[in-house]
Chains A and B, each alone.
Chain A
Amino acid sequence: MISLTARHLSIRRGGRTLLDNVSLRAEAGELLAVVGANGAGKSTLLTALAGLRKPDAGQVMLNDVPLSELTGTTLARIRAYLPQNPRCEWPLSVERLVALGLTPSLPLFGDLPATARARATAALADCDLLAHREQSVTTLSGGEFARAMLARAFIGNPDILIVDEPLTGLDPRHAIEIATRLRAFARAGKLVIASLHDLTLAARYATRILALREGRLICDGPSGQILNAEMIRAVFDTDGKILGEVDYPYVDYRGPT
Chain B
Amino acid sequence: MIRHHAPLMPALLGLLGITFGVSLLVGAVWLRPQDLLPALFTRPWPLAALIVIDLRLPRAILACLAGGSLGLAGAVLQGLTRNPLAEPGLLGVTTGAALGAVIALYFGLTAAGEIWGPVMGIVGALGASALTFLLGRGGGILSLILAGAAVSGLMSACISVALNLAPNPYAAYEIMTWLMGSLVDRSWHHVLLVLPFVAGGAVLLAMTMRALDALALGEDQAMSLGINLERLHVMVLGGTALAVGATTAVTGAIGFVGLLAPHLLRPFVAYQPGRLLAPSALLGALLLLTADILTRLIQIGPEIKLGVVMSLLGTPFFFWLVVRVRRSGP
Contact = CB atoms under 8 A, between A and B. Distances in A.
Interface of A: 47, 50, 52, 71-77, 79-83, 86-93, 96-97, 100-101, 103-104, 106, 108-109, 111, 134-136, 152
Interface string B1-25: 1100000000000000000000000
Contacts of B85: none
Contact of B210 (A79, A108, A135): A108
Contacts of A88: 216-217
Q: What does DSSP make chain B's interface, helix, strand, loop or mixed?
A: loop
Given A77-B226, A83-B220, A92-B272, 7 more contacts: A71-B226, A90-B272, A92-B271, A103-B226, A108-B209, A136-B271, A152-B217
B224 A92 contact: no
A134 B2 contact: yes
Contact of B207 (A52, A91, A108): A108
Contact of A101 (B225, B227, B275): B225
Contacts of B214: 100, 103
Contacts, number: 83
Contacts of A136: 1-2, 271
Contacts of B225: 76, 100-101, 103-104
A111 B226 CA distance: 19
A103 B227 contact: yes
Contacts of A75: 226
Interface SS majority for chain A: mixed
B221 to A, nearest CB: 6
30 contacts: A50-B224, A52-B223, A71-B226, A72-B223, A72-B226, A72-B228, A75-B226, A76-B226, A79-B224, A81-B221, A83-B221, A86-B218, A87-B218, A89-B216, A89-B218, A90-B272, A92-B271, A92-B272, A96-B270, A100-B213, A100-B217, A101-B225, A103-B214, A103-B225, A104-B226, A108-B207, A109-B209, A111-B275, A136-B2, A136-B271
Interface in B43-101: 82
B294 interface: no
Contacts of A92: 216, 270-272
Interface of B: 1-2, 82, 206-207, 209-210, 213-218, 220-221, 223-228, 266, 270-273, 275
Nearest to B225: A103
A76 B218 CA distance: 15
A45 to B, nearest CB: 14
Nearest to B214: A103
Contacts of A111: 275
A219 to B, nearest CB: 28
Nearest to A152: B217
A174 B255 CA distance: 48
B149 to A, nearest CB: 21
B265 to A, nearest CB: 13
Nearest to A102: B225
A74 B272 CA distance: 25
A89 B266 CA distance: 13
A96 B272 CA distance: 8
Nearest to B218: A87
Nearest to B78: A90
B216 A100 contact: yes
B209 A81 contact: no
Contacts of A83: 218, 220-221
The residue in A79, A80, A104 that gathers the most chain B C-beta atoms within 10 A of its C-beta is A104
Contacts of A103: 210, 213-214, 225-227
Nearest to B267: A91
A103 B82 CA distance: 18
B274 to A, nearest CB: 9
A148 to B, nearest CB: 11
A87 B217 contact: yes
A228 to B, nearest CB: 35
Nearest to A47: B220
A216 B207 CA distance: 42
B226 A73 contact: yes
Contacts of B220: 47, 52, 81, 83
A74 B225 CA distance: 9
A81 B224 contact: yes
A81 to B, nearest CB: 4
